[in-house]
Chains A and B, each alone.
Chain A
């Protein structure tokens, strides 16, 4: 399965932007890039996904490199509630469903 690489941890301050990087050099042309986050004692929560173009939604923005070998999740103004583990995942099509294989993720700490 195609693999993603993320920093183990990052730290930022409240109300500042946060840029979470992800490398996926073995991505294939049909793999979508998905981001999820997991707050303590909860299941993972979908954040955003994209294929080639940059994407924006109410939670975050996703910037995808032109060669698609890396991407960056952008939280525009971090709050304390954004402290979580963030997973960058390549969605693989498989037998009529999606296959999401989680990497180690980045633990994001937000300082007040």
Chain B
């Protein structure tokens, strides 16, 4: 299995809702990432997990709450979002850094619309 699977593919939520995005990989990668991508912009790093522990939080607002319950799963819990949070949310995974480490594998993303 060489894929990163993200669910759902599309999500519409109200500003008072709580929802979760899910990401799964079975490549044995121990680093996982969340990115946010607005239309016609490059992806922006949000969170980095290494060995199931939060390694980096790029000053993301607390209405976004990541969780890594095991080495194959990464969740992003959403609460009280704003319309400007509407974007494509991308999950990625990689080997933990080594000299010969290859690249990230990205999922196809969850397109989130906040109404």
Instruction: Report which A residues bind B (CB closer than 8 A).
Output: 32, 34, 36, 41-47, 49, 87, 91, 93-105
Contact = CB atoms under 8 A, between A and B. Distances in A.
B31 A87 contact: no
Main secondary structure of the interface of B (DSSP, over half): strand
Contact of B42 (A32, A43, A47, A103): A103
A97 B48 contact: yes
Contacts, number: 71
Contact of B102 (A41, A49, A105): A49
Interface of B: 4, 31, 33, 42-45, 48-51, 55-56, 90, 92, 94, 96-97, 101-109
A99 to B, nearest CB: 7
A96 B42 contact: no
Contacts of A95: 48, 50, 55-56
